[in-house]
């Protein structure tokens, strides 16, 4: 395993990070003991970077159990900001009943949430604490101030953001410098052959400020496993959060990538993972295995390197800096979610 430096933190991490969403019993593996075995196998293979979140149901508890006796050899990352998975709103009624203060990036919630994560992870510190989604309702200075206090207290070693637009990344860096606060050391955006928009601004901004980048979704949320084919139905398409698995535009791209992977003599999964970590702005790509079989398949491609010819062919199929379609899980700024922020009042729409 060839380790990389996480931005300018000096921390050495593996190019594959272990994501733990699928270890949550509410969505992934129903047996925590099986998940613990997968975590141990990943650590034994040289992966030293484990990423979880308080939003992932009981994932933090399972990770905490798995790391007993091995904590000092692991770079442990978790996130705050979204409601916990087993409490996600299912209907308008339950959505209204969800406590609005148990989410977001306010000082009040960060200080409460970090204690819960430390307890569930059974550790006295978090190596990388990340804001899982931008919180437009909270001043970034408020967020950075709280995170800075956590670093000074020793509970957190480094801080990061996730799915932040480039403009927000830059603003956070400026605020940190002006106010003498800790700055974000990392960014965690979505990135795969199917979703390359971060190549335009997010990755260049992260590189400019010396941020490490931990990308999620390198397998295109299951599309780049080769299990979703044109005209075929399977269990993956019926999975939760699977609307993108029926998008014909994404499927058409996969049908072009499969013969390219065959021609290169590798599985599509290896092509996808090698692509994700080939960009100089990417530090690590997150694996999201649910079973030992999934992990073994991905680990077999850890040493795969793509030639310029293959990367050029991928560029022809999906142009650099573009998304085939937007992910359902992608962050949308308030201006896109709220029509009132992009429409003048009716009384002001008349001709000048």
d(CA 205, CA 210): 9
The helix/strand/coil state of 211 is coil
Number of domain units in the chain: 1
Report the chain's C-alpha Rg in angstroms: 20
Q: Please, which residues have CB within 8 angstroms of residue 139's CB and are 6 or more apart in sequence?
A: none
d(CA 78, CA 94): 26
Identify each DSSP E strand in the chain by its residue range.
4-5, 12-13, 16-19, 49-51, 75-80, 126-131, 156-162, 186-188, 212-215, 284-287
The 8-class DSSP code of residue 266 comes to S
If phi > 0 it is left, if psi is from -120 to 50 it is alpha, else beta; for residue 257 that is alpha
Closest CA to 278 of 315, 253, 249: 315
pLDDT of 231 reads 66
The helix/strand/coil state of 51 is strand
Closest CA to 202 of 91, 273, 282, 317: 282
- The string of DSSP codes covering 68-100 is TTTGGG-EEEEEESSPPGGG---SHHHHHHS-T
Q: Can you give the three-state secondary structure of 175-198, one letter per residue?
A: HHHHHCCCCCCEEECECCCCECHH
pLDDT of 247 reads 77
Write down how long the chain is.
352
Average pLDDT for runs of 10 along the chain of length 352: 95 98 90 96 98 95 97 98 66 54 95 97 98 96 98 98 97 98 98 97 98 97 85 54 71 95 97 98 96 95 95 98 87 84 81 58
Closest CA to 253 of 289, 288, 226, 217: 226
Residue for token pair 């307890």: 119
CB 228 within 8 A of CB 236: yes
pLDDT of 233 reads 63
Residue for token pair 């990061």: 160
CB 91 within 8 A of CB 41: no
The CATH number given to whatever domain includes residue 160 is: 3.20.20.100
Active-site residues: which are they? 56
Longest distance between any two alpha carbons in the chain, whole Å: 71
Number of neighbouring beta carbons within 10 Å of residue 57? 21
The whole-model pTM stands at 0.91
Domain that holds residue 148: 4-348
- The string of DSSP codes covering 296-330 is HHHHTTTT----HHHHHHHHHHS-TT-BSS--TTS
CA torsion, ordered 121, 125, 130, 135, to nearest 10 deg: 90
d(CA 289, CA 20): 8
Pairing status of strand 4-5 against strand 12-13: antiparallel
Closest CA to 82 of 138, 156, 135, 16: 135
């Amino acid at each position: 395993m060839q380790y990389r430096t996480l931005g300018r933190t000096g921390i050495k991490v593996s190019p594959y990070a272990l994501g733990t969403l699928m270890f949550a019993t509410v969505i992934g593996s129903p047996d925590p003991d099986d998940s613990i075995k997968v975590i141990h196998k990943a650590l034994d293979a040289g992966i030293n970077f484990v990423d979880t979140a308080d939003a992932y149901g009981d994932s933090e508890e399972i990770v905490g159990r798995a790391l007993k006796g091995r904590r000092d050899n692991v770079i442990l990352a978790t996130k705050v900001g979204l409601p916990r998975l087993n409490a996600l709103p299912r209907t308008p009624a339950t959505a209204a009943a969800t406590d609005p203060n148990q989410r977001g990036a306010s000082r009040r919630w960060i200080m409460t949430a970090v204690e819960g994560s430390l307890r569930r992870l059974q550790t006295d510190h978090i190596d990388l604490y990340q804001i899982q989604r931008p919180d437009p309702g909270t001043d970034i200075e408020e967020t950075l101030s709280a995170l800075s206090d956590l670093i000074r207290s020793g509970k957190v070693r480094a801080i990061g953001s996730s799915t932040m637009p480039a403009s927000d990344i830059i603003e956070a860096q400026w605020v940190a410098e002006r106010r003498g606060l800790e700055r974000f050391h990392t960014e965690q955006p979505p990135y795969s052959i199917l979703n390359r928009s971060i190549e335009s601004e997010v990755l260049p901004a992260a590189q400019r400020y010396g941020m490490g980048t931990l990308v999620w979704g390198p397998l295109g949320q299951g599309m780049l496993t080769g299990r979703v084919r044109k005209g075929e139905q399977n269990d993956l398409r019926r999975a939760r959060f699977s609307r993108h698995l029926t998008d014909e535009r994404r499927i058409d791209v996969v049908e072009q990538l499969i013969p390219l992977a065959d021609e290169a003599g590798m599985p599509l999964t290896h092509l996808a993972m090698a692509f994700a970590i080939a960009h100089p702005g990417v530090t690590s790509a997150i694996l999201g295995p649910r079973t030992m079989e999934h992990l073994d398949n991905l680990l077999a491609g850890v040493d795969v390197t793509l030639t310029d010819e293959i990367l050029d062919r991928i560029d022809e199929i999906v142009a650099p800096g573009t998304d085939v379609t937007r992910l359902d899980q992608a962050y949308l700024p308030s201006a896109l979610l709220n029509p009132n922020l992009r429409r003048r009042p009716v009384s002001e729409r008349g001709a000048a």
